[in-house]
């Protein structure tokens, strides 16, 4: 009954059981159903706080691979749920709002990518995890921003490589590995938005501040950065540095954990180009809410499903990434 209602309305941001303590109720449902909640650092603070595990894209895949839970609630975006489902085909994988997509994954449609791959038959295909299962099925090895450099470097210098879909990450990896990988022309609308001018202005205001940037940012932002790394790497760096003022050029959700771990530091979200807001949030990530999380656990819906044939192909490059990351101690 509730499912039909939701299908009409989309994914319900309201709960039928009025007056409940939502945090306690999520906790009880989790126990009762042997479920685990995995959340990405770009989720809202309340979801991060209730999750069993919070991590970057690589850590979420690694956690999915080792969990003994029957149900995985992936509080992140659709491709993260798909990756968990491909790794754990026998488990139920839920994402609180199935509309939580990804502009970067959308910038690489599988049919167009298949043509691109076909045009370059002598190339190894490396795909960023921010892709659909269908694109992963066309891929030799998957990477995340945590392991992209090491995985690219695991191939001989003269290996011909296609790297997709993020052109910013691809350009960055080309520059630090001295390669010339052929890049797919995709990008993330959040990371593309950071304003070089506004970051320079912030640096004038806080001359001692360090700039920490995710490699999905434009080259001009990365050039300004004191440290470039994945979400988890930025967090680690922020905790370690003795500098007090830190300008963060990635989705501002990660600042929640940074502030928790370093309440004495001043985290300044890098401003986007054309917004009156001082921070930069991923509208897809923010579709998940506590109420939707409660509903999806209670009704075990919406589930992530992956076509069996696609999943059979996509698991290979994902597994390769997990194996190589384990060997590298990542």
Interaction mask 212-251, ligand SF4, x per CB under 6 A: ---------------------------------------x
* Smallest distance from ligand SF4 to CB 181, Å: 19
State yes or no: residue 97 binds ligand 13P (CB under 6 A): no
State yes or no: residue 193 binds ligand 13P (CB under 6 A): no
Interaction mask 38-57, ligand SF4, x per CB under 6 A: ----x---------------
- Tell me how far apart the alpha carbons of residues 33 and 92 are, in angstroms, rounded to a whole number: 11
Interaction mask 101-130, ligand SF4, x per CB under 6 A: -xxx-------------------------x
- Tell me how far apart the alpha carbons of residues 276 and 24 are, in angstroms, rounded to a whole number: 36
**Binders of ligand 13P in range 221-250 (CB under 6 A):** 230-231
Structural contact between residues 321 and 147, judged by C-beta atoms closer than 8 angstroms: yes
Phi, psi of 11 (to 5 degrees): -100, 120
Nearer to ligand SF4 by Cβ, of 188 and 210: the residue is 188
State yes or no: residue 56 binds ligand 13P (CB under 6 A): yes
Helices (H), the chain: 2-9, 22-33, 45-50, 57-66, 78-87, 103-106, 110-119, 133-136, 148-153, 167-177, 196-205, 219-224, 231-240, 254-261, 290-299, 308-328
Structural contact between residues 215 and 39, judged by C-beta atoms closer than 8 angstroms: no
Nearer to ligand SF4 by Cβ, of 189 and 316: the residue is 189
Work out what residue 284 binds among ligand SF4, ligand 13P, none; the CB cut-off runs from 5 to 8 Å by kind: ligand SF4
- Tell me how far apart the alpha carbons of residues 94 and 73 are, in angstroms, rounded to a whole number: 5
Residues that bind ligand 13P (CB under 6 A): 56-57, 130, 144-146, 188, 216, 230-231
């Amino acid at each position: 009954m509730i499912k039909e209602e939701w299908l009409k309305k989309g994914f319900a941001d309201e709960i039928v059981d009025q007056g409940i303590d939502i945090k306690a109720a999520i906790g009880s449902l989790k126990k009762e159903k042997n479920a685990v909640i995995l959340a990405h650092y770009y989720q809202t603070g309340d979801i991060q706080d209730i999750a069993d595990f919070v991590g970057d894209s690589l850590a979420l895949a690694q956690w999915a691979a080792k969990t003994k839970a029957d149900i995985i609630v992936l509080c992140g975006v659709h491709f993260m749920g798909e990756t968990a489902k491909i790794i754990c085909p026998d488990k139920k994988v839920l994402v609180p709002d199935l509309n939580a997509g990804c502009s970067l994954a959308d910038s690489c449609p599988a049919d167009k990518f298949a043509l691109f791959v076909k045009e370059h038959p002598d190339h190894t295909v490396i795909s960023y995890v921010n892709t659909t299962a269908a694109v992963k099925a066309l891929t030799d090895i998957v990477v995340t921003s945590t392991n992209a450099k090491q995985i690219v470097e695991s191939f001989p210098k003269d290996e011909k490589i296609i790297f997709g879909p993020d052109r910013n990450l691809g350009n960055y990896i080309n520059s630090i590995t001295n390669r010339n990988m052929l890049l797919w022309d995709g990008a993330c609308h959040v990371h593309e938005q950071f304003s070089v001018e506004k970051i320079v202005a912030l640096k004038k205001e806080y001359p001692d501040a360090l700039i920490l940037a995710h490699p999905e940012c434009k080259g001009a932002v990365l050039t300004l950065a004191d440290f470039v790394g994945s979400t988890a790497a930025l967090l680690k760096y922020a905790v370690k540095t003795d500098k007090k003022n830190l300008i963060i050029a990635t989705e501002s959700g990660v600042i929640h954990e940074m502030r928790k771990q370093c309440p004495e530091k001043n985290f300044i979200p890098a401003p986007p180009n054309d917004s009156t807001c001082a921070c930069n949030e991923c509208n897809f990530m923010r579709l998940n809410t506590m109420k939707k999380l409660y509903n999806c656990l209670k009704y075990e819906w919406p589930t992530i499903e992956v076509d069996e044939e696609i999943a059979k192909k996509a698991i290979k490059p994902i597994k390769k990434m997990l194996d190589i990351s384990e060997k590298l101690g990542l």
